[in-house]
Amino acid sequence: MKMRVVITGANGQLGTALVENAPENVEIVPHTREDFDLRDINALERFLRETSPFVVINTAAFHDTEACETEFEEALFVNAIIPTIMARILEKIGGIVVFISTDYVFDGEKRGELYLEDDLPNPLNRYGISKLAGEVGVSKLSAKFYIFRLSSLFGKTTKRTGNFVLKIIEKATKGKPLRVVNDIFMTPTYAPDAAKRIWEVLLGNFSPGVYHVSNSGITSWFDFAKEILRIKGIDKDVMPVSHTEIKTKVKRPLWSPLGSKYLSPLRHWGEALKEYLEVESWT
Ligand SMILES: NC(=O)c1ccc[n+]([C@@H]2O[C@H](COP(=O)([O-])OP(=O)(O)OC[C@H]3O[C@@H](n4cnc5c(N)ncnc54)[C@H](OP(=O)(O)O)[C@@H]3O)[C@@H](O)[C@H]2O)c1
């Protein structure tokens, strides 16, 4: 019998990659906002009881970091309360919850080193706080849970400017000026690479707990932007700016590359970016 897995946010970047890379012995039940809004807790409980999944991979999130600052209650509800309720329902019906978290749970103070799974979180912004609250809720209410922390995703998305890569290409091709921060460092992560790794962990012999999943290599957003344009063959200047010059309500960690104590490194982000831009002709 196939293992039934619900994927929320199934048409998002990670959700799409999880669906497209699902192993054969898995029966996917995709969930999107069109089915129902996850904030409808009664509908959520009915759905989980009727579907009776072995695993729910909850990729749905409120991750507009600027909006999370002003809509903190909403951020907490979507990113923490809903996953916690999900965990509670699954605990009752015998399912496992998988929560997708972020490098933004860290404060960036570990400069020069990768953040590992047991490093102490200390989020600097409300998005990070809401995701950490989700981690705590899920881990406290589930006997068996998986938390995957990801960073700076790029992958298939129906939204034309749905990620940094597409935003840079869109702006460059429209002739708009490109000002990109050169003092914030992270690891860009290709959604299909992350999805394959998540499946490996869920179907492999890995203990429940927290795992960091990102491509390898560290870059600034400025160098990332330059590499996107180089691969696309777009001749356009990028102006490096400091994070202090960007008008924003969000305090971001200046350093958040992830590493794992338990999982082998994924390929370099540059190789993955090339595949995204060259093989996936839809960009
Ligand atoms: N993107 C990143 O750089 C990044 C980095 C680290 C971690 N993460 C985490 O990784 C996960 C996946 O990110 P992603 O980039 O794949 O996100 P995404 O492309 O925006 O996909 C998220 C999906 O969740 C759906 N969703 C959100 N709220 C919902 C609700 N209340 N009811 C039903 N569906 C809802 C969205 O639907 P709509 O399109 O209708 O809103 C969207 O399809 C998230 O948990 C995020 O916090 C992301």
Strand partners, 99: 58, 147
Tell me the pLDDT of the chain averaged across its residues: 96
Distance 14 CA to ligand 1 centre (A): 8
Alpha-carbon distance values, 130 to 65, 84, 108 (Å): 11, 12, 17
| Residue 14 CA, closest ligand 1 atom number | 16
pLDDT confidence of residue 159: 73
Ligand 1 atom closest to the CA of 13, numbered from 1: 16
For ligand 1, the distance from its centroid to the CA atom of residue 61, given in whole angstroms, is 4
Pocket test for ligand 1, best of 44, 148, 150, 152 (most atoms within 8 A of CB): 150
CA of 153 to the centre of ligand 1 (A): 10
Q: How far is the CA of 78 from the centre of ligand 1 (A)?
A: 10
Write the CA distances from 249 to 60, 67, 253, integer angstroms: 23, 9, 13
**pLDDT on residue 281:** 57
pLDDT tens, the chain, 283 aa long: 899 999 999 999 999 999 999 999 999 999 999 999 999 999 999 999 999 999 999 999 999 999 999 999 999 999 999 999 999 999 999 999 999 999 999 999 999 999 999 999 999 999 999 999 999 999 999 989 999 999 999 999 887 668 999 999 999 999 999 999 999 999 999 999 999 999 999 999 899 999 999 999 999 999 999 999 999 999 999 999 999 999 999 999 999 999 999 999 999 999 999 999 987 655 4
Q: Which residues line ligand 1 (CB under 6 A)?
A: 9, 11-15, 32-33, 37-39, 59-63, 78, 100, 102, 150-153, 157
Contacts of 171 (CB under 8 A, 6+ apart): 177, 178
Question: Model's pTM, two decimal places?
Answer: 0.97
What DSSP state is assigned to residue 11? T
How confident is the model at residue 225, as a pLDDT? Answer: 98
Q: Which domains does the chain have, with CATH numbers?
A: 3-154+188-217+255-267 (3.40.50.720)
C-alpha 235 – ligand 1 centre gap (Å): 32
